[in-house]
Amino acid sequence: MQYVQANENNRYLLAIVMTVGLAGLLFGYDTAVISGAEQHVQKYLINSIGLGSFAHGFTVSSAHIGCIIGGLISGLLANKLGRKKTLILAGFLFFFSALGSAYPEMFFFTKGDASFSLLIAFNTYRIIGGIGIGIGAAIAPMYISEISPEQSRGKYVAVYTISIGIGQLSVYTVNLLIASAQTTAWVSDIGWRYMFASEMIPALLFLSLLFFVPETPRYLVFNNEIQKASSILERVHNSKERASQIISEIKKTIFNKTSQKARLFSYGGLVIFVGVAVHIFQPLIGINVIMYYAPRIFESMGVGQIASMFQTVIVGIVNVIFMTLALKFVDSLGRKPLLMVGSIGCAISLFLVAILGSMNVFGIITLVSILLYVACFQLTWGVVTWIVVSEVFPNKIRGKAVALASVLHWIANLAASSMFPMLNDAFGPASFTIYGGLCVLSVFFIWKFLPETKGKKLEEIEEIWSKRPVENQRFQNIK
């Protein structure tokens, strides 16, 4: 088939992508806010009632339980409510979680009277926010992938991932400003609450702007709203003929004889294995250990609390810079080479941190090693993972498959981040070798199993899997 070449409506598309990308900003904000507050929450809610490192690790990571729930229900919600309404629901969850985390006593407890029940309430609010993250992390990249032209889909999904970094940098800066505004005693009493409450501002902005974006064309076609889908595609591509071609392609993949009965493994196990494994590897190679515990890690190097939070802001800056640089490469170099190079760079950095720490060598060289890890990760895995997961699954199983990948991603995230305090207590800096080893393993996985998806329409990617009969699926056959 000869395809009509048309210039995309960059201004219209960018407005939509930046609005939906706020889900990424809230993802980064909500997950990273705990880095500035965790030591004060530990004093108020954990140490004061005699609990130890397990409770500490669980409380820092409890939002991931919500992420698992959010990922589990995201596909069902996206298919029943639509992508847009599902994102609106996520926005409400972000707002309510921020309010409750800032003041967990608001319904049933007295401020200053710490108890196990209050700790449960705090973690419940964090879990509610996690549900919002899990929904947003699954649906926002899916939304962007479904509305973007294939030649620029990578860079537009990358806008979402850059927003995660901007959210993390924003909250690191807010945490630093709050922590340096008053005494440490004030931060332990009141300041940490302001850190959580500050998330209500971007949550309200996200909710307000979502009402002005359309539903995705592929969801509209699935629900037989052809005219609406065509109108959106015409605006995106600046071409009525191109919109008609895309509508025909979507209909072909959705309304064929088997589409209504499509099950998760309709294309065999390989596509599910690959998409899920990419999503699982991302947290297992250690990024959230750095992002959640950065101030504590830097304090262990001998710097003060404010200085450690300032260094965390530096991490956030490096985060955003290298996420932005990834825009130059995702649609030129491709997904597969970037992931392999990123894994190698992350492994080297983590092994270096472990060796230096075990030798009690701290200071600028250790900081540089950590920054090198962050740069390697965000240039590659931090951006490319979300692109691959949003595009690798065929149309008719995408909702279910993305939901499964999201659930297992957040389970891996919970395991990696909640275990770090205990691993650190047991092994000290040597614990970073575990994450480095997983980086090495990920290199072999990407080389062996991941197909290149750059520059392919979603319907073309589907053909990669549909050409392989279910009974002849062999993991080793993918090139």
Distance CA(4)–CA(25), nearest Å, equals 35
Return the structure tokens found at 181: 């505004």
Estimate the crossing angle of helix 83-102 against helix 10-41, to 10 degrees: 30
Token readout for 58 is: 């669980």
The one-letter code for the residue type at 217 is P
Separation CA 289–CA 414 (nearest Å): 11
How far CA 277 is from CA of 74, 221, 256, 283, in Å, comes to: 19, 30, 29, 11
Nearest alpha-carbon partner for 34 in 49, 46, 22, 21: 46
**Cα–Cα distance for residue pair 204/195, rounded to 1 Å:** 16
- String of DSSP letters for 230-278: HHHHHHHHT-HHHHHHHHHHHHHHHSSTTGGG--TTTT-HHHHHHHHHH
Cβ(309)–Cβ(53) below 8 Å:
no
Per-residue model confidence as pLDDT tens digits over 186-208: 877 788 888 989 999 999 999 99
When pLDDT is cut at 50, 70 and 90, the band that residue 279 belongs to is confident
Amino acid in the structure at residue 171: V
- CA-CA distance, 146 to 157, in Å (whole number)? 10
In this prediction, residue 260 carries a pLDDT of 47
Q: How far apart are CA 125 and CA 130, in angstroms?
A: 9
Instruction: Kindly state the average pLDDT of the residues 440-460.
Output: 78
Question: In one letter, which amino acid is 433?
Answer: T
Query: Could you tell me which residues come within 8 angstroms of residue 396 by beta carbon, excluding any fewer than 6 positions away?
Result: 253, 254, 259, 262, 266
CA distance linking residue 135 with residue 119, whole number of Å: 24
Q: How far apart are CA 478 and CA 466, in angstroms?
A: 13
Question: Of 222-231, 312-321, 347-356, 391-400, which one has max mean pLDDT?
Answer: 347-356
Residue 477: left (phi > 0), alpha (psi -120 to 50), or beta? alpha
400, 264 contact by CB (below 8 A): yes
What band does 479 get if pLDDT is binned at 50, 70 and 90?
A: very low
For residue 256, the 8-state DSSP code is S
Q: Is 17 exposed, middle or buried (0-12, 13-18, 19+ CB in 10 A)?
A: buried
Buried b (16+ CB within 10 A) or exposed e, 169-179: bbbbbbbbbbb
What is the structure's pLDDT at 397? 75
How high is the pLDDT of residue 304?
A: 57
Q: Is 92's pLDDT higher than 90?
A: yes
Residue 477: per-residue pLDDT: 44
pLDDT tier for residue 90 given thresholds of 50, 70 and 90: very high
Decide if 352 contacts 287 (C-beta within 8 A).
no
Task: Write down the pLDDT at residue 99.
Answer: 93
Neighbours of 248 (CB within 10 A): 12
Average pLDDT, the chain: 78
Lowest mean pLDDT among 72-76, 88-92, 158-162, 456-460: 456-460
Q: What is the pLDDT of residue 462?
A: 67
pLDDT score of 412 more than 50: yes
Token look-up 């072999």 returns 444
- Please report how many Cα atoms fall inside a 13 Å half-sphere around the Cα of residue 358, on the Cβ side: 12
Q: What is the dihedral of CA 137, 140, 142, 145, to 10 degrees?
A: -130
As a whole number of angstroms, the distance between CA 132 and CA 74 comes to 10
Count the residues in the chain: 479
Radius of gyration of the chain (CA): 22
Among the listed residues 453, 443, 319, the one whose alpha carbon sits nearest the alpha carbon of residue 390 = 453
Residue with the two structure tokens 């998409």: 275
The pair of structure tokens assigned to 175 is 């945490």
pLDDT at 457 over 70: no
Over residues 23-80, the pLDDT tens digits come to: 889 988 887 787 777 777 777 787 777 777 777 777 777 888 898 898 788 878 888 8
**pLDDT surpassing 60 at residue 471:** no
pLDDT at 296: 60
Read off the pLDDT of each residue in 305-315 and give the average, rounded to a whole number: 71
What does the pLDDT average to over 466-473? 48
What is the mean pLDDT of the segment spanning 313-324?
81
Q: Which residue has the higher pLDDT, 285 or 158?
A: 285
The CA-CA-CA angle for residues 105, 106, 107, to 5°, reads 100
Q: Is the pLDDT of residue 458 over 70?
A: no
Whether residue 257 is predicted with pLDDT greater than 50 in this model: the reply is no
**Cβ proximity of 152 and 144 under 8 Å:** no
Question: Is residue 354 very low, low, confident or very high in pLDDT (cuts 50, 70, 90)?
Answer: confident
Residue 373 has pLDDT above 50, yes or no: yes
Burial class (CB in 10 A: 0-12, 13-18, 19+), 360: exposed
The arithmetic mean of pLDDT across residues 372-396, rounded, is: 82
Q: How many CB atoms lie within 10 A of CB 439?
A: 26
Residue 1 pLDDT grade (very low, low, confident, very high; cuts 50, 70, 90): very low
Ordered by where they begin, the domains of the chain are 10-213+256-477 (1.20.1250.20)
Burial class (CB in 10 A: 0-12, 13-18, 19+), 80: exposed
